[in-house]
A and B are shown apart, each in its own frame.
Chain A
Amino acid sequence: MKTTPLNAWHHQSGARMVDFSGWEMPIQYDGIIAEHQRTRTQAGLFDVSHMGELHLEGPDALANLQRLLPNDFRDLQIGQVRYSPLLYDNGTCVDDLSVYKLCDEKYLLCVNASNIDKDREWIQSHLQGDVTLTDKSAETGQIAIQGPAALSIVEKLVGRDLSAIKYWWFDWALVEGKELMLARMGYTGEDGFEIFCKAGDTQWVWDQLLILGKDQGIGPVGLGARDTLRLEVTFPLYGQELNETHPALAAGLGSFIKLDKAEDFIGKAALVQAKQNGMSERLVKFVLEGKGVPRPHYRVLDLETGEPIGEVTSGTHSPMTSQGIGMAYVKTSYAEVDRQIGIEVRNRVIAAKIIKGAFVKVARKG
């Protein structure tokens, strides 16, 4: 199994380790609910070094981004980050990723760990002109620090005020000779940073943040709480909400898909077609009205007729609201806010209500 630079630390700390698409990663340390609440109220530290870092550079880098990705990067500033799905010709997702503009003609693409090889091969095979793609995943470490105390802890690490970094922007810092890239963003809905460093510096950064954040209640958070945190704020996960079967528009990614940008992009024709013809299914968010916990692949039923109308993609027990929450693809005619649907949990059908927005509202300063 592949490991991150923090693997030995996880083992020593007593973390429960799992195989996460070929990576040996911590699923929990103290318990999912405790780690979740720590992140919502204090600060959580996440090892995300398994994420991939692909560097795209050259005079034609921007033109390639514009053609490879459906979002528009023409007005992306140096120091700014922008999210986008990466599409196949048929409009479904190769992956979803974040694009960081490092300087003119130089971009960092942060991709999902499970998709690094697939993305690199896909992008490489579609590059045109004067541009090179370099996979720096193995030499790059990444730590996320999330929660209301995250900003002040990272400020202690770098010794300066970071409040001017806006959400979805980044800056660099040099700390004891170690070069850090601090991106104010994350996968929990909370304020915080994703910190990129050299792989060999990852342990040092991790240790420093744990020491500097001790008084503010910082602690490590595993993949279990990472999943409940992202689900409470309805962030999609590749392999669950995003996949190679549903068009990206059906997943609610419309605001990241610029059908009207000047350049043609891979997947555009299929999405335009899908929009014209109407999509058969849509991703919805639902709250269980009875007791239970929805899980991926549970069937969604018409509450009156019992007819199958869809499938759950993600589900959990919300540690903040203590309700069953989830996302599901359902037939388009059912995809209306406040509509009741049924979730089949073993031999029972539990009523659920489709909601809009997130399950948990987060007060974020960034």
Chain B
Amino acid sequence: MEVRAELKYTEEHEWLSIQGNKATLGITDFAQNKLGDIVFVELPEVGTIVEAGETIGNIESVKAVSEIFCPVAGEVTEVNKDLEDEPDLVNTSCFDDGWIVKIRIDSSDLTDANLMSDEEYTQHCANE
């Protein structure tokens, strides 16, 4: 299982890359492996306003459907259009080409988002 030190993580297995008030969100290696072959990613519209903890999309694998949670409030500024034709990018490159959305956030909200470091997240996965 790959975990990257520069990212933050949620209990629901999303990762966030945060630069100032911009956040990129995807799902973790642990999550993509657990879901298996991903065949469809339901993306939000650009401009969607999300509340902290809200569902911003869904990932369908052959076997199951899984919600994508956004841990922090914000506005969707970009979605990964490549996933429309190549949803399996989430399997093959979950931290890079398989990113899901970019969100404009208020960085002061991050303290309430219960995000984990890479070490905390590794421990979290070990407990599942």
Query: Which residues of chain A come closer than 8 Å to B62, judged between CB atoms?
Result: 32-33, 224, 228, 293, 316-317, 319
Contact with A along B60-92 (1 / 0, CB 8 A): 101101000000000000000000000000000
In A298-336, which residues have CB < 8 Å from any B CB?
Answer: 316-317, 319, 322
Does B58 have its Cβ within 8 Å of any Cβ on chain A?
yes
Closest 7 CB pairs of A and B: A317-B39, A293-B60, A33-B37, A32-B62, A31-B37, A32-B37, A317-B62
Given contacts A317-B60, A317-B62, A319-B62, contact A224 B39 (CB under 8 A): no
Contact with A along B38-65 (1 / 0, CB 8 A): 0110100000000000000010101101
User: How many angstroms from the CA of A292 to the CA of B62 in the assembled complex?
Assistant: 11
Cβ of B67 to closest chain A Cβ, rounded Å: 9
Query: Which residues of chain A come closer than 8 Å to B63, judged between CB atoms?
Result: 27-28, 32, 224
Contact with B along A10-51 (1 / 0, CB 8 A): 000000000000000001100111100000000000000000
User: CB distance B37 to A293 under 8 Å?
Assistant: no
Beyond the given A224-B63, A293-B62, please list 11 additional residue pairs across the A-B interface where CB-CB is below 8 A: A28-B36, A28-B63, A31-B36, A33-B62, A292-B42, A292-B60, A293-B39, A293-B40, A317-B39, A317-B60, A317-B62
Cβ of A29 to closest chain B Cβ, rounded Å: 11
User: How many angstroms from the CA of A28 to the CA of B64 in the assembled complex?
Assistant: 13
Bin chain B's interface residue count: 10 to 19
User: How many angstroms from the CA of A183 to the CA of B36 in the assembled complex?
Assistant: 32
Cβ of B55 to closest chain A Cβ, rounded Å: 9
Query: Which residues of chain B come closer than 8 Å to A293, judged between CB atoms?
Result: 39-40, 60, 62, 65
User: How many angstroms from the CA of A224 to the CA of B34 in the assembled complex?
Assistant: 13
User: How many angstroms from the CA of A130 to the CA of B64 in the assembled complex?
Assistant: 49
Kindly report which residue of chain B lies nearest to residue A323, judged by CB atoms: B39
Cross-chain pairs A/B with CB under 8 angstroms, 13 sampled: A28-B63, A31-B36, A32-B37, A224-B63, A228-B62, A291-B40, A292-B40, A293-B40, A293-B60, A316-B62, A317-B60, A317-B62, A322-B39
User: How many angstroms from the CA of A322 to the CA of B62 in the assembled complex?
Assistant: 10
Interface centre among B36, B40, B62 (most CB of A within 10 A): B62
**Cross-interface CB contact of A224 among B36, B40, B65, cutoff 8 Å:** B36
Query: Which residues of chain B come closer than 8 Å to A295, judged between CB atoms?
Result: 65
Cβ of B117 to closest chain A Cβ, rounded Å: 28
Interface centre among A31, A293, A346 (most CB of B within 10 A): A293
Kindly report which residue of chain B lies nearest to residue A36, judged by CB atoms: B62
Query: Which residues of chain A come closer than 8 Å to B65, judged between CB atoms?
Result: 293, 295
Query: Which residues of chain A come closer than 8 Å to B42, judged between CB atoms?
Result: 292
User: How many angstroms from the CA of A188 to the CA of B28 in the assembled complex?
Assistant: 33
User: How many angstroms from the CA of A228 to the CA of B64 in the assembled complex?
Assistant: 13
Kindly report which residue of chain B lies nearest to residue A225, judged by CB atoms: B62
Kindly report which residue of chain A lies nearest to residue B64, judged by CB atoms: A295
User: How many angstroms from the CA of A295 to the CA of B40 in the assembled complex?
Assistant: 13
Interface centre among B58, B60, B65 (most CB of A within 10 A): B60
User: How many angstroms from the CA of A8 to the CA of B58 in the assembled complex?
Assistant: 35
In B19-45, which residues have CB < 8 Å from any A CB?
Answer: 36-37, 39-40, 42
Given contacts A32-B63, A224-B63, contact A317 B40 (CB under 8 A): yes
User: How many angstroms from the CA of A236 to the CA of B60 in the assembled complex?
Assistant: 23
User: How many angstroms from the CA of A204 to the CA of B116 in the assembled complex?
Assistant: 48
Kindly report which residue of chain B lies nearest to residue A18, judged by CB atoms: B63
